[in-house]
Amino acid sequence: MERREVMVGKTRARVLTAARELLLLKDFSGFSMEAVARRADVSRLTLYYQFKSKAGLLEALYDHIARRGKMEQLADVFRHGSDPLATLHDYIRVFANFWASDRGAIRRLHGLASIDPDIGKGLQARNERRRQGVQTIVERYSRVYPALSSARKAIVIDTIQMLTSFETFDALAGSSRNMDDVVSIIQEHVHHAVGYAGKAPL
């Protein structure tokens, strides 16, 4: 089991690359199992064999994009036991980098997720994991700055979740705004979100 796995990996990668390219075309109706197969120079049946269904293929594509967008960095953000506010800033930066890494494709995948429950399930799970991350940070934060009342905690978490979402990033990035600016706008607002509930943390 070696050469074989490599071959399979290459086939899957070729398919996922083709799928991503077709996902970005203006005319999304051009995205079909048949078209992806043709572009990847693979039989349509191979797609079903490897990914089960269209939803399965798109799920795998999201994973693919997450890997390419360096989402592993997220683990490090939590490992370093630094200032919770710094953690929050790093957290925002990691996600902004991810969202920016393949904006068009992610936008389409999110659109599909809100329509097809099969695809939506995977994204929902991701969102819950994201929420857990936010919660962990806020928890640490409220230990250092106890002024954050527990009644406000839920609001703060939801607000940060919203501010670090793809949709927020996408709206702020617009057609040309540079990413560091977007990150600092988001950081500003997250800072405000945790700040207005208690004392100013800086």
Partner DNA sequence: TTGTAATTATACATACTGTATGATTAATAT
Partner DNA sequence: ATATTAATCATACAGTATGTATAATTACAA
Chain contacts with a second copy (rule: CB under 8 A): 26-29, 107-108, 110-117, 155, 158-159, 161-162, 165, 167-168, 171-172, 174, 177, 181, 185, 188-189, 192-193, 196
Number of Cβ within 10 Å of residue 191's Cβ equals: 18
**Ranges of H-type helices in 25-83:** 33-40, 44-51, 54-68, 73-79
In the complex, least distance from residue 171 CB atom to a second copy, rounded to whole angstroms: 4
- If the CB atoms of residues 25 and 144 are measured against DNA, the closer one turns out to be 25
- Interacting residue with DNA among 5, 151, 175, 178 (CB under 7 A): 5
C-alpha to C-alpha distances, 127 to 15, 37, 53, 89, 107, nearest whole angstrom = 26, 30, 23, 19, 15
Measure Cα distances from 89 to 6, 142, 185, 190 in Å.
38, 16, 11, 9
CB 101, min distance to a second copy, A:
18
Quick one: which of 92, 64, 107, 62 has its CA closest to 185? 92
State in angstroms the smallest separation of the CB of 162 from a second copy: 4
Whose Cβ is closer to a second copy: residue 42's or residue 157's?
A: 157
Closer residue to a second copy (CB): 142 or 159: 159
Compute the distance between CA of residue 22 and CA of residue 40 in angstroms, rounded to an integer: 11
Candidate ranges 6-14, 89-97, 128-136, 157-165; the one touching DNA (CB under 7 A) = 6-14
Nearer to a second copy, 68 or 103 (CB): 103
- Contact present, 91 and 133 (Cβ < 8 Å): yes
Q: Which is nearer to DNA, 35 or 172 (CB)?
A: 35
List binders of DNA among 37-76 (CB under 7 A): 41-46, 48-50, 52-55
| CB count in 10 Å sphere of residue 43 | 11
One-letter amino acid for residue 52 of the chain: K
Which residues of this chain interact with DNA, rule CB under 7 A? 1-5, 7-8, 11, 30, 32-35, 41-46, 48-50, 52-55
